[in-house]
Amino acid sequence: MGLLAILLAKTNQGTFLKRIVGKLPFCSVLCALVGLFLLLYLPVDGQFRKTYFSENALLPHQGQTFFRSSDWVVVNGIRDEIRSYEENGMPDFLKVGLTKNIFEQFDVKVYTHDWSHADGSFGGTNIYGIVRATRGTQNEAAVIAAPWTNMEGRFNEGGVAVLLGLARHFTKWTMLHKNLIFVIPSNSEVALRRWVDAYHTTLQHTAGNIEGAIVLDYASSSDKFQHIDIGFEGLNGQLPNLDLVNTAGHSAMSEFVDISILGSHISRAQSYSTRLHTLFRNIYQQAGAGIVNDYPSAMFSGWHIDAITLRAVEGNRNDITAFGRVCESTFRSINNLLEHFHQSFFFYLLLSPVSFVSIAQYLPSAILVAFSFSLMAFYTVFTVEKAAINSLALLKAIFAYSFLVLSFVGFGYFYAVENMELCLLFLATLSIAVIAIVRFGSDAKMMMRIVVSIILGVLLSTLATINFSLALVLGILLLPLAFVGPNMHDKLNSVLLMISNPVVVTTVVGGEAFGLLPGEFIDKMVEGYIELNSWTWLIVCAIYLPAWTAASCICI
């Protein structure tokens, strides 16, 4: 207390505060830089932890795996069969009928689910079979899914064959506790998402709560694969429990199959640069979830389901039944669970298949970036003339900004649902808001600058706790706006506004990160919102667009 009293006394004398305030823009830049540096520092030895199992009941790979020898022959036979459907260019309804028939050969109850796009047009038919657990209460289930085409649109030949082989294999089991649902959606994104939605709303034949899901992706006609790549990022910043990712990794390593995370490096070769690369892969996948390149396991997001994707990478180290055994072993661990996944971490970044950083270690970097906005808000508060700070101007600024945000969100929403009349209406209210802000007096403009900075700081740090990567990326993209204001240099203003311009950002980010043209990039975000219920588009409309518009208006 003594220290605080002295500090207060010193600031009252006036020198201390002035000195600090003068340094605030510098502190703000420093804050953002430290945030980014912290991120780079995470993969350094000693900063991350080795993964471990929190849930004792999982017992990963504690038993002998049985999917081998004659199952290889069966998988081969099934693969020849489904390959012939694809090579003969069979129409979808025939393919569905014949695949259903394969399930029926093993006495698996099989059902279909017709799905449609958000606009109501027919999309396709998903097939799913249910293997009932002999010993169990019939109200818990696990899902094994293999989309007919994988995330790159290639025919998922091995995946579907292994899935059917496993369906046959698990009918022989008498000691299962959880029901098993085998799903073959017609594609890896919307079709699977619709099935998951339907399972929880309208499907008549269900098998209990889904406790975990494994998606198989083996899009090659070869009998051999090099290693397994594990995909786990969900939509809207959701991640499966770290225990599930560990279980899959441990099962694979016990079968002598190498693993990698999100298409990065395999577990055996690790260095600072590979860990950094994997870290950026995590951020890339999480921030870009629901836009493009989603692992199919992301489609289970939002229903309290932990899901991962197992992806076979081409090569010739392991044979196809090893892929099936990894899936078998992972499912058996899920089957062992007495409770829903809850023990381990739900927020983490994986640096390699066996090392991770938890939220407490990585969150500061996004928060520091967000804090640099707050610092600039303080700077503005302390530097404007006392006369400019009046409650009327502040109210004007808050009201105008809320109006702007609402207009953008309304515009974004109705643009997405293709309701053009309401979309135009919100465009009109948007222009009213813009004109109003441009015509503001200098004190209101100053207040607007404070409001924008404070709101950005608060929103970005809140978003960081839910979706770290998106908050970090938005924070970096919006950072120039922290230094834009009517009291700043005109040239600096125009340069900063240019860098953070939506056109520039969509072109650069869409082109560099996803290889998409700006128009396509926006379409994909909108599609993600409409078809997959990913919030990225609305977040962009609610945070990024109003902030940039307000910042540019006050500089005019």
Partner 1 sequence: MLVFILFQLACALYAENLDIKPLSNNELFSTFNFTMQQAISPIPPIEYSIFPRSLGEILQSTMTSELHIRFGHGVWDSDSWGALPQNGLITGGSGVEIWAFISAADQQHALRQWNQLVNQLSGYFCASMGFADETVVTFPSMQAMAPRGGNMNTILMRASLPAEPVCTENLTPFLKLLPCRNKAGLSTMLSGNRVFASKWQTMSVDVFPFEEELRLEQIVSLVSDVKRNFTDPLPYPELETDLDCDSYRGDGACFPVKKSEVAFNLTTIFGYFERDLCILGDAKIKVDLPVGWTVNNDTKYESILDETIPELEFVSNGKASFDNLPPPFIVDRSFSGYGMQNGGVRVVITNNRPYPINVRYLESWPHFVKLFMHTLSLGGNGTIVNKTYLPSLNKNSAFLELELEIVDSIVLEFEFEKSLLLLEEYPPDANHGFEISPALTILKDGDYVYEDRTPSMLLPLPVPDFSMPYNVVILTSTVMGLAFGTIYNLLVRDVVPLSQVPVHSENLLQKVLKKIK
> ∠309-310-311 over CA atoms, to 5°?
110
| Interaction between residue 205 and partner 1 (CB under 8 A) | yes
52 burial type by CB count under 10 A (0-12 exposed, 13-18 middle, 19+ buried): exposed
Whose tokens are 């079709």? That residue is: 191
Q: Which of residues 441-500 bind partner 1 (CB under 8 A)?
A: none
What is d(CA 393, CA 440) in angstroms, rounded to the nearest whole number?
9
At its nearest, how many Å lie between partner 1 and the CB of residue 203? 8
| Interaction between residue 201 and partner 1 (CB under 8 A) | yes
C-alpha pair distances (Å), 154 with each of 186, 187, 220, 383: 12, 10, 9, 59
Stretch touching partner 1 by CB under 8 A, among 186-194, 196-204, 390-398, 461-469: 196-204
Q: Are 325 and 255 in contact (CB under 8 A)?
A: yes
DSSP secondary structure letters along 325-358? HHHHHHHHHHHH-SS-S-SS-SSEEEEETTEEEE
Task: Using CB under 8 A, pick the residue from 69, 120, 122, 385 that binds partner 1.
Answer: 69
Task: Using CB under 8 A, pick the residue from 10, 18, 154, 342 that binds partner 1.
Answer: 342
| Interaction between residue 360 and partner 1 (CB under 8 A) | no
Stretch touching partner 1 by CB under 8 A, among 65-73, 86-94, 267-275, 344-352: 65-73
Residue (of 123, 161, 232, 230) closest to 530 by Cα position: 123
At its nearest, how many Å lie between partner 1 and the CB of residue 523? 26
Residue (of 207, 193, 374, 358) closest to 290 by Cα position: 193
Q: Which of residues 80-99 bind partner 1 (CB under 8 A)?
A: 80-81
Q: Of the two residues 23 and 304, which places its CB atom closer to partner 1 in the complex?
A: 304
Stretch touching partner 1 by CB under 8 A, among 197-205, 236-244, 365-373, 407-415: 197-205
What is d(CA 53, CA 246) in angstroms, rounded to the nearest whole number?
7
Q: Of the two residues 117 and 132, which places its CB atom closer to partner 1 in the complex?
A: 132
What is d(CA 134, CA 57) in angstroms, rounded to the nearest whole number?
20
At its nearest, how many Å lie between partner 1 and the CB of residue 228? 21
Task: Using CB under 8 A, pick the residue from 28, 38, 39, 71 that binds partner 1.
Answer: 71
Alpha helical stretches, state H, 384-467? 391-416, 420-438, 442-466
What is d(CA 432, CA 403) in angstroms, rounded to the nearest whole number?
9
Q: Of the two residues 78 and 433, which places its CB atom closer to partner 1 in the complex?
A: 78
The site map against partner 1 for 141-170 (x = CB under 8 A) is ---------------------------xxx
- Sign of the CA dihedral running 401, 22, 486, 36: negative
Task: Using CB under 8 A, pick the residue from 338, 360, 387, 503 that binds partner 1.
Answer: 338
At its nearest, how many Å lie between partner 1 and the CB of residue 76? 4
Q: Of the two residues 109 and 489, which places its CB atom closer to partner 1 in the complex?
A: 109
C-alpha pair distances (Å), 228 with each of 303, 324, 367: 26, 11, 34
What is d(CA 259, CA 246) in angstroms, rounded to the nearest whole number?
11
| Interaction between residue 419 and partner 1 (CB under 8 A) | no
| Interaction between residue 172 and partner 1 (CB under 8 A) | yes
| Interaction between residue 548 and partner 1 (CB under 8 A) | no
Strand-pair partners of 131: 180
| Interaction between residue 23 and partner 1 (CB under 8 A) | no
Stretch touching partner 1 by CB under 8 A, among 67-75, 118-126, 293-301, 419-427: 67-75
Token digits for 295? Answer: 């692992």
Residue 65 region by backbone torsions, left for phi larger than 0, else alpha for psi between -120 and 50, else beta:
beta
Q: Of the two residues 201 and 391, which places its CB atom closer to partner 1 in the complex?
A: 201
What is d(CA 550, CA 440) in angstroms, rounded to the nearest whole number?
11
48 SS3 class:
coil
Under rule CB under 8 A, how many of the chain's residues touch partner 1? 53
The site map against partner 1 for 271-310 (x = CB under 8 A) is -------------------------------xxx------
Residue (of 327, 180, 320, 151) closest to 247 by Cα position: 327
Residue (of 86, 113, 301) closest to 191 by Cα position: 113
Strand-pair partners of 129: 110, 182
At its nearest, how many Å lie between partner 1 and the CB of residue 256? 19
Q: Of the two residues 112 and 383, which places its CB atom closer to partner 1 in the complex?
A: 112
Q: Which of residues 103-132 bind partner 1 (CB under 8 A)?
A: 104-107, 109, 132
At its nearest, how many Å lie between partner 1 and the CB of residue 132? 6
β-pairing verdict for 209-217 and 306-319: parallel
| Interaction between residue 224 and partner 1 (CB under 8 A) | no
Binding site for partner 1 (CB under 8 A): 1, 5, 9, 66-71, 73-74, 76-81, 104-107, 109, 132, 134-140, 168-170, 172-175, 200-206, 208-209, 302-304, 338-340, 342
